[in-house]
Amino acid sequence: MPLIHKEGSKTLWNVGLLCGLAILVVLIYRPGNPETVGIVVTCSLAVFLFFLQFFRNPPRTVPQKNFRVLSPADGKIVFAGVTKETEVLKADVFKVSIFMSPFNVHVNRYPVSGEVVYVKHHPGRYLVALHPKSSELNERCTTAIRTDEGHLVVVRQIAGIVARRIVNYAVVGQRVTAGQEMGFIKFGSRTDVFWPTTWKTKIDLGDYVKGAESILA
């Protein structure tokens, strides 16, 4: 598994090029001003390193037992409770919302194994991902997986005020495995996951979770 996600290749190339040009320009036009050169070099490296860490794709070890739902993303639990899911399930379910800051890993993963039965992208607004209505109003992509036991689990990728691109690899009819890559969201954003209310929840509000490793239910 590459340590830098493929979705970052073009962005890193462009950022690296711009940073390199900035350094080249200051070396050409301010060669006698080491303070200015130092500031530009430092800032350029800081910007490039920020993007580099954003697109990191660290290896994960998926638990082999004792779970029904794995975390689909890295981040902080900002909501955990019973609510109504109106797009696919149209019923009261347990919902967990995971907020991803720009410093979290932004790879999204399937929370359960099974068959993809629904995928739909919705255009929308770009409210702050922490906003309660962002799940309904923001640009988002909803994916539903039917487990081998016949249960439906829904994952919703939600764009934030900075995130402007949601990537989703799911295809209806595809067989997927818990922990497998499902997609990527560029910059600060949120991922929601919904499951039956009868399943035992393993997390609390404010917990920090890791995609493909933390057990949610």
Please indicate, yes or no, whether residues 126 and 190 belong to a single structural domain of this protein: yes
Query: Do 159 and 198 have their domain in common?
Result: yes
pLDDT for res 140:
87
Amino acid letter, 96: V
Q: Are 140 and 122 in contact (CB under 8 A)?
A: yes
Q: Do residues 216 and 96 touch, judged by C-beta distance below 8 A?
A: yes
pLDDT at 49 over 80: yes
Average pLDDT of the residues in 110-137: 77
| Residue 36, pLDDT score | 84
Nearest-angstrom CA–CA distance, 143 and 2 = 25
Contacts of 207 (CB under 8 A, 6+ apart): 76, 77
Radius of gyration of the chain measured on its C-alpha atoms: 20
* pLDDT tier at 124, thresholds 50, 70, 90: low
Q: Is 110 within the bounds of a domain?
A: yes
- Alpha carbon distance 148, 131 (integer Å): 34
87 pLDDT tier (thresholds 50, 70, 90):
very high
**Same domain membership, residue 80 and residue 47:** no
Q: Is the pLDDT of residue 142 over 90?
A: yes
Number of domains present in the structure of the chain:
2
Q: Which helix (H) or strand (E) holds 137?
A: helix 134-137
Structural domain contains residue 154: yes
**Residue from 5, 109, 17 nearest 52 by CA:** 5
Same-domain pairing of 139 and 172: yes
Amino acid at 130: L
More confident residue, 4 or 199: 199
- The range of the structural domain enclosing residue 148 comes to 75-209
Asked if residues 183 and 170 have their Cβ atoms less than 8 Å apart, the reply is: yes
Amino acid code (one letter) for 1: M
Here the CATH number for the domain that contains residue 103 is 2.70.70
Q: In terms of domains, do 106 and 178 share one?
A: yes
- Same domain, residue pair 91 and 168: yes
pLDDT tops 80 at residue 128: no
Stronger pLDDT, 148 or 160, i.e. the higher one: 148
Question: What does the pLDDT read at residue 129?
Answer: 53
SS3 132: coil
**Pairwise pLDDT comparison (170 vs 36), residue with the higher score:** 170
Q: Which of 115 and 128 is assigned the larger pLDDT? A: 115
In the chain, what is the straight-line distance between the N-terminal and C-terminal CA atoms, in Å? 27
Rounded CA separation 42/192 (Å): 37
Residues 115 and 79 in one domain: yes
pLDDT for 26 equals 87
The reply to whether 142 and 82 lie within a common domain is: yes
Are residues 19 and 103 located together in one domain of the fold?
no
Please report, for the chain, how many H helices and E strands are present, in that order: 3, 11
- Any domain includes 61: no
pLDDT attached to residue 132: 58
Task: Give the tokens for residue 199.
Answer: 């399943």
Evaluate whether 98 touches 190 at the Cβ level (below 8 Å). yes
**Residue 217: per-residue pLDDT:** 94
Domain co-membership, 81 together with 143: yes
Residues marked active site are found at: 189
27-41 tens-digit pLDDT: 888 777 788 888 888
Does residue 31 lie within any of the structural domains? yes
| Residue 79 resides in a domain | yes
Residues 84 and 185 in one domain: yes
Q: What is the pLDDT of residue 28?
A: 85
Q: Retrieve residue 72's tokens.
A: 């689909």
Where residue 180 falls among pLDDT bands split at 50, 70, 90?
Answer: very high
Q: Are residues 90 and 178 in the same domain?
A: yes
